[in-house]
Structure 1
Amino acid sequence: MESHALLIGATLSAGTVLALAALGLLINEKAGVVNLGAEGMMLCAALAGFATVVHTGSAWLGFAAGMAAGALLATLFGVLVIWLNTNQYATGLALSLFGAGFSAFAGTGYVQARLPERPRYAMTLLGDVPLLGPALFRQHPLVYLSMLLTLGLIWFLYRSRAGLVLRCVGESPASAHTLGYPVRRIRLAAVAAGGALCGLAGAYVSTVYTPLWVEGLVAGRGWIALALTTFATWRPARVLLGAYLFGGVTMLQFHLQASGVQAASQLLSMLPYVATIVVLALISRNPAWIRANLPASLGKPFYPGS
């Protein structure tokens, strides 16, 4: 019973990392921009958040630093692809490589650093309920924030005028431009907001999920988050559910090892990535479903003067 509660709780925590990053990428893609630099942004944000907590002792300042780092890198990416019309895919890959290299170089002095003791979170009374209490009501506040963020994003995209404009920019930027909307500035704002969420996910990894700093700490989660947006067919609720699914697969490897399953650790570590490939392969068998949900101008540059 206790092991199942721990597995559920760990799944929610692992899924939160993917949910925050994937929701950020979803905002990008709803505006018509593909950012393949999530891994690099998350690594730089993880270092920024970790270093901030080491020097200030404040986890919330660490989250703010991670968001700022992610937003800064995303803004740089946005200027390159939106105003200078560089290739979105190549620029995103360059950002991912830059983030990996820069974080490894700048983080050398923090490899042995330790974070201060963090408080334990639990809801009064609910945290003591058997099974559900430890699994659902002793989580970090960001776990619940990611759920609220999903609900807020659903309302924003489908119930607000600003969300309608954002989706219009992703579907038909020429029409939005004709109506007088600043397409480039809207896209840049979406890219910066998405980068901030990727940065928050990176800071969560280094300060809560795995409270340490080592090179390559994010371990491919940025790429999984990118695949998750396609898996969810660009729907926020599906992003959250998919994040918990992949989070559960990630935690399953540790649960199996703790249960005494005799299997090579390398094979178990492959589970999240194998699951990602399998899911994308299954989705690709129905291209009409993807086209029905895919933002029409995703990955396509926009030239206001044309």
Structure 2
Amino acid sequence: MSAQTVVVDTPSTAAAVQAKIAWRAPVLYLGVALLSLVVFALGTDPDATTTFMVASANDFVTIAPFAVPSQLTALLLSSVALVLAGWAAWATSRRIDVPVWLPITFGGLVLLAFLVWVMAGNTNALPLTILLAGALTLSVPLVFGALAGMLCERSGIINIAIEGQLLGGAFLAVVVGSLTGNAYAGMIAAPLAGALVGWVLVTFAVRYRIDQIIVGVVLNVLVIGLTNYLFSTLLTDNPQTLNSPPRLPTLPIPVLSQIPVIGPVLFNHSLVIYLMYIAVAVLQVMVFRSRWGLRMRSVGEHPKAADTVGINVNRTRVRNTVLGGAVAGLGGAALVAAGLAFTKELTSGKGYIALAAMILGRWSPRGALAAALLFGFADSLRRVLGNLGSPIPSEFLAMLPYLATIFAVAGLVGRVRAPAAEGIPYVK
């Protein structure tokens, strides 16, 4: 009879095999909360006040601008943020999952403390409604670009060419809108340019199996060069005919647009912003709750297994990349929706910012929306504070979304993992 070794599962043994506690997020919370307390609260003039304006002319209820004591308000907000940071540290020590609302609430408190501090003693009122509405408007091209990247990479194609797709969509929207005198015609034409760039990308990636990152970078350079050439030769010589697009009309939603704060921010925009709402909601359901989404994700994660059950891997990748390009082209139309004329390199790197938003949002439509709103809010804040005469240099404010992304990826959203088969050509 052979001897057997019996292993007794004692509490100490179970504790030894538990995963190591990740302290990055709690430490980051505590550091930011202490920074807010020291700089935004204690560093504010005790006699200063901060004035906020939250009403607009068409609201149901008229809300007059109101002032708050700057130091006391920043102290209260920072203290609550510090309590949340302590609670997050306690929950982490007990291996309790931190709820989703905590980082959102924590970020909102610190942001409000920052606004109170930066506007302390300023004779102008901070227009919160204009700030938030501007953040939404500026984030729309980023949302469409991030959705385009998500559609491509979920099926296994790395889309570095979002910049070129946005730029091509904006160019075609301006030209078609100017020729027809109809902004909606330009908005319909814009996805065609993005889809064309996506088709070229996926053709080289699937048929010729060329490195997808190299192809994407080359396509960006190609579109930039082509649009710059056409701008210098055609649009500059015929600005009234080819570079004077009409503005997309504002379509306020009855009743909803008159709700204080929420109405002007969410329900008083042009059609392209409402299409963004629909695109995020539809794709969130389709990607994670439909047969089409399951097939797309299987192609991006394990193409051989998908092929085994009868899914055409390369055809799925081609369709999704072209669709993603069309979505990015619509984002290009959003860039010029206000009737802006086309200029050289109009996108100014927004395609790469959209790519970062997609990664920060963990390749999901809802996450991409949240990340793009972060960038849009920082850009809107830079513009509003610049117009109000903020003492903070605008160059520093322009750095905020990128710094926030670094901190978020490093500690707040945890480890992110791309689809396993992205960038890998599939040969049957």
TM over 0.5: yes
**Residue equivalent to 2:325:** 195
**Residue equivalent to 1:125:** 255
Among 224, 233, 242, the residue aligned to 2:371: 242
* Residues 129-278 of structure 1 mapped to structure 2, 5 A cutoff: 129-208=259-338, 211-278=340-407
Structure 1 residue matching 2:337: 3-state secondary structure:
helix
Among 119, 140, 143, the residue aligned to 1:19: 143
**Residue equivalent to 1:110:** 235
Q: 1:117 to 1:298 in 2, by over 3 A?
A: closer
Among 166, 170, 179, the residue aligned to 1:46: 170
After TM superposition, the structure 1 stretch with the greater mean CA deviation from structure 2, 87-96 or 100-109, is: 100-109
For the 8 Å contact 1:224–1:276, the answer to whether it is kept is no
Structure 1 residue matching 2:336: 3-state secondary structure:
helix
Q: Structure 2: how far apart are the matches of 1:45 and 1:115?
A: 13
Q: CA deviation at 1:280?
A: 4.1
Identity over aligned residues, as a percent?
31
Q: 1:156 to 1:5 in 2, by over 3 A?
A: same
Q: CA deviation at 1:127?
A: 2.3
Q: CA deviation at 1:275?
A: 3.7
Q: CA deviation at 1:117?
A: 4.9
Q: Structure 2: how far apart are the matches of 1:81 and 1:172?
A: 17
Q: Structure 2: how far apart are the matches of 1:176 and 1:104?
A: 42
Q: CA deviation at 1:234?
A: 1.1
After TM superposition, the structure 1 stretch with the greater mean CA deviation from structure 2, 212-221 or 111-120, is: 111-120
Q: CA deviation at 1:281?
A: 4.4
* Residues 55-94 of structure 1 mapped to structure 2, 5 A cutoff: 55-94=179-218
Q: CA deviation at 1:118?
A: 4.2
Q: 1:217 to 1:172 in 2, by over 3 A?
A: same
Q: CA deviation at 1:189?
A: 0.4
Residue type matched to 1:180 in 2?
A: G
Residue type matched to 2:250 in 1?
A: R
Q: 1:85 to 1:244 in 2, by over 3 A?
A: same
Larger Rg: 2
Q: 1:282 to 1:57 in 2, by over 3 A?
A: farther
Q: CA deviation at 1:264?
A: 3.5
Higher helix share: 1
Paired residues in the alignment total: 298
Q: CA deviation at 1:70?
A: 0.4
Structure 2 residue matching 1:96: 3-state secondary structure:
helix
For the 8 Å contact 2:195–2:322, the answer to whether it is kept is yes
1:162-192, Cα deviation, whole Å (9 max, x unpaired): 1111111001111111222211111000100
After TM superposition, the structure 1 stretch with the greater mean CA deviation from structure 2, 187-196 or 135-144, is: 135-144
For the 8 Å contact 2:162–2:328, the answer to whether it is kept is yes
For the 8 Å contact 1:50–1:212, the answer to whether it is kept is yes
After TM superposition, the structure 1 stretch with the greater mean CA deviation from structure 2, 272-281 or 102-111, is: 272-281
Q: Per chain length, whose mean CA-contact separation is higher, i.e. which structure has more relative contact order (CA < 8 Å, sep 6+)?
A: 1
Q: Structure 2: how far apart are the matches of 1:117 and 1:32?
A: 37
Q: Structure 2: how far apart are the matches of 1:152 and 1:90?
A: 31
CA RMSD of aligned residues (A): 1.9
Q: Structure 1: how far apart are the matches of 2:163 and 2:373?
A: 19
Q: Structure 2: how far apart are the matches of 1:39 and 1:102?
A: 13
